């Protein structure tokens, strides 16, 4: 396919947990699925796709995500009117090289050879026009077989990023021209970073790429043939799961866990770097969000129900309750339904240590929120005691939970909004607002919402074991089974 007609397939990598943005970003709902930048409610994932609008020959995206997040990804694409070419489900995380390999194999499955634009789902880019211009500038080199990466023009001698050295000064190649890569450098110390910053040849490694599918596959085959072989087997044995392609677990798990930089870019002679100045940030910490956010006259970034009085240079965020900053400076305060973070901005990078402590202690706050999202809606844990717990459940219009039963718990449902259809042991009943129904232990049951507004209800569970893996599914419109529990984000109902 010639460069003039080569179409562009975005490959959006949705993995990662973003633990440095705890307590908002957690394994069950990482940072890429939150609205963290800008004045609207679009998420980082949605912004990643939307900022590509206007590029010529733009094809539907390929998304690669953890299977636990598949319904979140599908719903967020639906909300912005995007129908992906495919959503590839990784059974285990294997870094970026296998993810890119399966995307390239999928993109060429029908004999086509598009350009692949590899993007992380969790970056902020404030100047979309400049970003699109850089992509356009990189297309001829990529169409000719170069492996183009976008290097961020440094704004400071940053020690938290890897660097890319160009083989010649960027000015010699002309504006927005890819330059051959001399080398990749890991995160430097301060003195080395200052030398890089002054040289004019170094850019930050953004992890964004543009190349022909055949070109990256050829280099992967040459440099890591075992990786491509495992990815090909995983894709050939995939299984369709509604709108998803579930990679075969054993084959994909046998892939070496390699970043694309290590697998290819640091070893290839085809690498080129294109300098990018577009207000980029990988939002790797709360202080980075303060840096990129819209600040008021006192230097504060305020999100949600927040009052600031006499505070300066703070990041204050509320998801539920009112947060008041009174006479404080240089703080990060983030409130969620079950945790509050108060940190000095200079210590924001250390939040990961707190997450490690929580996980070591087995605390649920380390991995999951009280609100858990499902394809049919979501539920919130309200309160729990010995042998009982209370949840608030929302079921979207037209949605239905699986036909299921529990071995260890009974449930009492009280509808507070909308009208539900409840099936119990083959019999159906309508349950409206201020009405309730009882689900005995062992009863085969299902809850559906036939209406045009969401059903909201309170569920009271009681029994000797209330774990989310106490479920047997008999029928499910979302293709889920009663297979063993595979992770905190995949719990039942």
- Judge if 268 and 301 occupy the same domain: no
Mean pLDDT of 150-165: 93
Which pLDDT value is given to residue 75?
A: 92
In this structure, the answer to whether residues 385 and 414 fall within a common structural domain is yes
Q: Please give the pLDDT value at position 172.
A: 58
pLDDT greater than 70 at residue 493: no
The H-assigned helical ranges of 237-377 are 249-253, 260, 286-292, 351-360
Helix residue spans in 298-413 (DSSP H):
351-360
Q: Provide the domain limits for residue 67.
A: 8-281
Structure tokens of 188? Answer: 């430097």
Q: How confident is the model at residue 468 (pLDDT cuts 50, 70, 90)?
A: confident
Task: Judge if 99 and 49 occupy the same domain.
Answer: yes
Domain annotation covers residue 92: yes
Q: Could you give the percent of the chain with pLDDT greater than 90?
A: 81
Examine the pLDDT at 485 and tell me if it is beyond 80: no
Q: How many domains does the chain have?
A: 3
Over the stretch 298-330, which tens digit does the pLDDT of each residue have?
Answer: 999 999 999 999 999 999 999 999 999 999 999
For residues 302 and 211, membership in a common domain is answered with no
Last residue of a domain, one of 324, 353, 382: 353
Reported as a pLDDT band with limits 50, 70 and 90, residue 6 is: confident
Q: Are residues 160 and 183 located together in one domain of the fold?
A: yes
Best CA proximity match to 438, nearest among 461, 419, 418: 461
In a domain, 361, yes or no: no
Q: For 86-110, write each residue's pLDDT tens digit.
A: 999 999 999 999 999 999 999 999 8
pLDDT bracket for residue 63 (50, 70, 90): very high
Residues 26 and 138 in one domain: yes
Residue 174: pLDDT over 90:
no
CB atoms within 10 A of CB 129: 10
Whether residue 105 is found in the same domain as residue 28: yes
Of 281, 303, 329, the domain-final residue: 281
Among 403, 446, 404, 400, CA closest to 423: 446
Domain shared by 59 and 33, yes or no = yes
CATH number at residue 446: 2.60.120.10
The pLDDT value given to residue 173:
55
Model pLDDT for residues 176-217, shown as the tens digit of each residue:
789 999 999 999 999 999 999 998 889 999 999 999 999 999
Q: What is the average per-residue pLDDT within 465-484?
A: 79
Question: Whole-prediction pTM value?
Answer: 0.88
Q: Is 364 a member of any domain?
A: no
Higher pLDDT, 372 or 238: 372
Domain presence at residue 358: no
Whether the predicted pLDDT of 486 surpasses 50: no
């Amino acid at each position: 396919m010639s460069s003039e007609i080569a179409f562009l397939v975005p490959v959006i990598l949705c993995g990662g947990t973003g633990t440095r943005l705890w307590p908002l970003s957690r394994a069950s709902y990482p940072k890429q699925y939150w609205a963290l930048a800008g004045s609207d409610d679009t998420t980082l994932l949605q912004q990643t796709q939307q900022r590509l609008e206007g590029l010529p020959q733009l094809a539907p995206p390929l998304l690669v995500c953890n299977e636990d997040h598949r319904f979140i990804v599908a719903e967020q694409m639906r909300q912005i009117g995007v129908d992906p070419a495919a959503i590839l489900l990784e059974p285990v995380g294997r870094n970026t090289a296998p993810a890119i390999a399966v995307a390239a194999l999928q993109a060429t499955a029908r004999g086509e050879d598009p350009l692949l634009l590899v993007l992380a789902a969790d970056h902020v880019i404030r100047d979309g026009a400049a970003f699109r211009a850089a992509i356009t500038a990189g297309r001829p080199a990529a169409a000719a077989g170069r492996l183009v990466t976008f290097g961020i023009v440094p704004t400071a001698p940053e020690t938290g990023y890897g660097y890319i050295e160009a083989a010649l000064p960027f000015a010699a190649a002309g504006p927005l021209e890819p330059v051959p890569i001399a080398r990749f450098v890991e995160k430097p110390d301060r003195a080395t970073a200052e030398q890089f910053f002054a040289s004019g040849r170094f850019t930050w490694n953004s992890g964004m790429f543009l190349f022909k599918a055949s070109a990256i596959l050829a280099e992967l085959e040459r440099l890591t043939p075992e990786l491509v072989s495992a990815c090909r087997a995983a894709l050939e044995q995939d299984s369709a799961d509604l709108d998803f392609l579930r990679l075969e677990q054993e084959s994909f798990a046998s892939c070496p866990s390699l970043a694309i930089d290590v697998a290819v870019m640091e070893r290839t002679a085809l690498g080129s770097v294109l300098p990018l100045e577009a207000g980029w940030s990988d939002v790797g910490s709360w202080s980075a969000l303060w840096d990129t956010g819209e600040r008021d006259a006192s230097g504060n970034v305020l999100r949600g129900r927040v009052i600031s009085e006499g505070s300066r240079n703070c990041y204050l965020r509320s998801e539920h309750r009112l947060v008041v900053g009174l006479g404080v400076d240089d703080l990060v305060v983030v409130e969620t339904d079950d945790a509050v973070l108060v940190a000095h901005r200079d210590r924001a990078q250390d939040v990961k240590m707190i997450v490690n402590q929580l996980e070591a202690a087995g605390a649920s706050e380390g991995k999951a929120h009280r609100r858990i999202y499902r394809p049919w809606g979501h539920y919130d844990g309200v309160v729990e005691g010995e042998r009982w717990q209370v949840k608030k459940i929302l079921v979207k219009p037209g949605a239905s939970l699986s036909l299921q039963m529990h071995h260890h718990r009974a449930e009492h449902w009280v509808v507070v909004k909308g009208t539900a259809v409840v099936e119990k042991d083959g019999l159906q009943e309508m349950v409206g607002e201020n009405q309730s129904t009882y689900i005995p232990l062992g009863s085969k049951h299902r809850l559906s919402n036939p209406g045009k507004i969401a059903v909201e209800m309170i569920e009271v569970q009681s029994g000797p074991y209330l774990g989310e893996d106490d479920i047997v599914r008999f029928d499910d419109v979302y293709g889920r089974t009663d297979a063993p529990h595979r992770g905190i984000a995949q719990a039942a109902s």
